[in-house]
Amino acid sequence: MPDLLPFVICAAAYAAQAVIFWPGRSTSQRPGYWRLVPLVPFMLHMALLLGAFLGGDGVSLGFATMLSAIAALSVLVYGVASWRYSLGGMQGVVLAIAAVAVLLQGLMGGGQLIPQSGNPAFRAHLLMSITAYSLFLIAALHAVFLAVAERALQRPSAKTAPVGMLPLLTIEALLFRLLEVGFTVLTLTLLTGIVFSKQTFGEHLPFTHMTVFGIASWLIFAALLLGRHRYGWRGKRAIYGTLTGFAMLFLSYMGAQFVLEIVLGRV
């Protein structure tokens, strides 16, 4: 287990900022230099991740490390997006997830060492995978926010929409923009995975759970985006389609690693 102190410091900084930006708090709307505040723990977070990924004899890749990397990239994406969009309390949820993820990385360690980590195809595939996971994690969060906003619209007398929540149409537009970018990255992830599999295992698409769930998620997102552009799908179709696609993507790697490392105790 690595020295836990820097992970605790990073998690505590994220958690404190999550309270500031949390939905329902007026402080979630603070402008200007407050947008730079999440970059402070983010830089420490990145240093911890680089130590896990590149330390030792290769890349250490486990459930906690992948979750931490996905959370870090999500913080970066939201930090950049906050300069163009008024994200309100949504940023607080991402910061809270990052706090939990970096703490889990410190408690659980880096995980298994990947022997092919020097392979350029693997490095490209890994970068694309983390980026795709991060984009679809944010999309899944937006789908949840969209469900909350729709419920508030249907029940205007009930105060179910937190202060700082974006308008429903804005959330929906951002959701599909995230899905479009995420789908492009996921497509590149599958393509680089095919190249990596060919170089390593001698076949393009080995029949594994990663292949099955990865392709299933790609098909779900492709159908959702096609339905949006051709038939104007929105609302519940967008919510359920996004969450189902993200669940398939999660199971493709993270779910298996969770079972192996957490449930079965293997590394």
Domain-wise residue ranges, the chain: 5-263
The yes-or-no verdict on residue 211 having pLDDT over 90 is no
Q: How far apart are CA 180 and CA 178, in angstroms?
A: 5
Q: How far apart are CA 207 and CA 190, in angstroms?
A: 14
Q: How far apart are CA 160 and CA 95, in angstroms?
A: 22
**What is the reported pLDDT for 57?**
57
Nearest one of 214, 215, 136 to 177, comparing CA atoms: 136
The yes-or-no verdict on residue 107 having pLDDT over 60 is yes
Q: How far apart are CA 251 and CA 92, in angstroms?
A: 26
Please count the other Cβ atoms lying within 10 Å of the Cβ belonging to residue 55. Answer: 12
**What is the reported pLDDT for 163?**
46
The most confident of 68-82, 158-172, 177-191, by mean pLDDT: 177-191
Task: State pLDDT tens for residues 231-259.
Answer: 888 888 999 999 999 999 888 876 555 55
pLDDT-wise least confident of 17-21, 39-43, 149-153: 149-153
Task: State pLDDT tens for residues 40-88.
Answer: 899 999 998 887 776 555 566 677 888 898 899 889 888 887 777 766 6
Dihedral (Cα; 248, 251, 252, 256), 10-degree rounding: -170
